């Protein structure tokens, strides 16, 4: 199989490419990424010289580029990870989310119809289902839960999913969609909760917790997500959506305290800051469908996964320090310091 992976220089995409290139030497992996602030080719240094791997820099919303790439490479399968992925950025600047997540996805869909792609897999998120109340731990997102988005990010992802489904129904494109819970693990950009807290705690910097820290996320180790997508590509039923999650719900405060304990830093570093606008309260996935139909089960629980992840960030300080010394600092200034959320 020739698999075109978009967004393969980002966090989950890079983990997926690394996994697929090594796990399936019989498959060819073509990685297409625009290398935005979130794309980092350092994430791919272990596979860059492998014979079954190739990289292209380009924009999924650039029609001419995408059609030329499909003409040249003739992929069998497309796995679309490419996206703007950070909720806080979507609150600051929604339009780039429409551009990449909606227009980019429909551009890929058009090319996929024209070139007879055998499977288009859309990597989506549990955030398309909105949020659940904190006082109803019995409720979970299933594949039947209505789309009910909160942020410009989740709205753009939901819009993309609707187009993916429309191209299946209208044009017969063989699609699958996966909606996964919050991922964590190596190569996550240090603007997201877990790597942000690890990098700041090790430097004895304040840890900004939004609101009261009681919001709940359902955490999945990134490799378990990658393995689920691989399984869906091979065994998933065309036209179906699969929710992916491992029942690892934690409050943000629990996550931050776990990080502090692991790096042996005091809880006094925690600082409560102004809440995120429209902040979703709780995400929680019911993974029964993928477990029963495809036999997927996660290999890591939160305790094992977070220990591995923290160790990775401690062993790879150069990786995140390179990022922190670049554009990210302007971002932190703008989102936290200029807004008076943290004073430093
Ligand atoms: P990320 O921000 O780390 O990576 C996104 C990648 O897409 C980057 O390499 C970036 O350069 C690339 N990209 C952005 N715009 C592009 C464009 N126009 N053309 C080509 N490439 C472009 O994101 P991530 O956390 O790895 O998420 C990957 C996918 O998984 C996204 O679609 C996201 O919605 C979805 N997802 C993420 C999570 C999570 O917890 N991170 C959970 C569920 C689903
Ligand atoms: P994030 O990693 O941005 O993922 P998402 O918003 O897609 O779930 O945030 C995870 C949770 O952590 C979310 O409830 C917001 C919260 N959070 C903080 O409290 N402080 C921070 O500095 C960040 C980035 C997130």
* Sequential pLDDT tens for the chain (344 residues): 999 999 999 999 999 999 999 999 999 999 999 999 999 999 999 999 999 999 999 999 999 999 999 999 999 999 999 999 999 999 999 999 999 999 999 999 999 999 999 999 999 999 999 999 999 999 999 999 999 999 999 999 999 999 999 999 999 999 999 999 999 999 999 999 999 999 999 999 999 999 999 999 999 999 999 999 999 999 999 999 999 999 999 999 999 999 999 999 999 999 999 999 999 999 999 999 999 999 999 999 999 999 999 999 999 999 999 898 875 456 556 766 787 766 55
Is the CB of residue 157 below 6 angstroms from any atom belonging to ligand 1? yes
Query: Closest ligand to 164 CA?
Result: 1
How many angstroms does the Cα of residue 298 sit away from the middle of ligand 2? 23
Homologous superfamily of the 2-337 domain (CATH): NAD(P)-binding Rossmann-like Domain (3.40.50.720)
The 3-state secondary structure of the chain, one letter per residue:
CEEEEECCCCHHHHHHHHHHHHHCCCCEEEEEECCCCCCCHHHHCCCCCCCCEEEEECCCCCHHHHHHHHHHHCCCEEEECCCCCCHHHHHHCCHHHHHHHHHHHHHHHHHHHHCCCCEEEEEEEHHHHCCECCCCCCCCECCCCCCCCCCHHHHHHHHHHHHHHHHHHHHCCCEEEEEECEEECCCCCCCCHHHHHHHHHHCCCCEEEECCCCCEEEEEEHHHHHHHHHHHHHHCCCCCEEEECCCCEEEHHHHHHHHHHHCCCCHHHEEEECCCCCCCCECCECCHHHHHHHCCCCCCCHHHHHHHHHHHHHHCHHHHHHHHCCCHHHHHHHHHHCCCCCCC
Position 336 scores a pLDDT of 64
How many angstroms does the Cα of residue 192 sit away from the middle of ligand 2? 6
Which residue has a Cα nearest atom 14 of ligand 2?
215
Which residue has a Cα nearest atom 9 of ligand 2?
193
Please report the atom of ligand 1 found closest to the CA of residue 80.
32
pTM to 2 decimal places: 0.96
Please report the atom of ligand 2 found closest to the CA of residue 283.
8
Domain segments of the chain as ranges: 2-337
């Amino acid at each position: 199989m020739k698999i075109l992976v978009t967004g393969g220089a980002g966090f989950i995409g890079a983990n997926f490419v690394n996994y697929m290139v090594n796990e399936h030497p019989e498959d060819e992996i073509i990685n297409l990424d625009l290398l935005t602030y979130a794309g980092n080719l350092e994430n791919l240094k272990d596979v860059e010289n492998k014979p079954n791997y190739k990289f292209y820099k380009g924009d999924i919303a650039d029609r001419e580029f995408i059609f030329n790439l499909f003409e040249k490479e003739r992929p069998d399968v497309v796995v679309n990870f490419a996206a703007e992925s950070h909720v806080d950025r979507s609150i600051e600047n929604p339009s780039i989310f429409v551009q990449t997540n909606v227009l980019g996805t429909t551009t890929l869909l058009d090319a996929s119809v024209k070139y007879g792609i055998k499977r288009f897999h859309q990597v989506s998120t549990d955030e398309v289902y909105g949020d659940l109340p904190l006082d109803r731990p019995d409720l979970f997102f299933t594949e039947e839960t209505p789309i009910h988005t909160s942020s410009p990010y989740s709205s753009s992802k939901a819009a993309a999913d609707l187009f993916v489904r429309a191209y299946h129904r209208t044009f017969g494109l063989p699609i699958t969609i996966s909606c996964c819970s919050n991922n964590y693990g190596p190569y996550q950009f240090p603007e997201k909760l877990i790597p942000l807290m690890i990098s700041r705690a090790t430097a004895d910097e304040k840890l900004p917790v939004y609101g009261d820290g009681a919001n709940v996320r359902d955490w999945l180790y990134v490799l378990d997500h990658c393995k689920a997508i691989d399984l869906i590509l091979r065994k998933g039923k065309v036209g179906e959506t699969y929710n992916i999650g491992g029942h690892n719900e934690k409050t943000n405060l629990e996550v931050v305290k776990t990080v502090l304990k692991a790096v042996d830093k005091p809880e006094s570093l925690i600082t409560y800051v102004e809440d995120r606008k429209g902040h979703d309260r709780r995400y929680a996935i019911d993974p029964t469908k993928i477990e029963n139909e495809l036999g997927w089960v996660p290999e890591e629980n939160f305790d094992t996964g977070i220990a591995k992840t923290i160790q990775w960030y401690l062993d790879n300080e150069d990786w995140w320090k390179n990022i922190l010394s670049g554009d990210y600092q302007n971002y932190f200034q703008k989102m936290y310091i200029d807004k008076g959320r943290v004073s430093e």
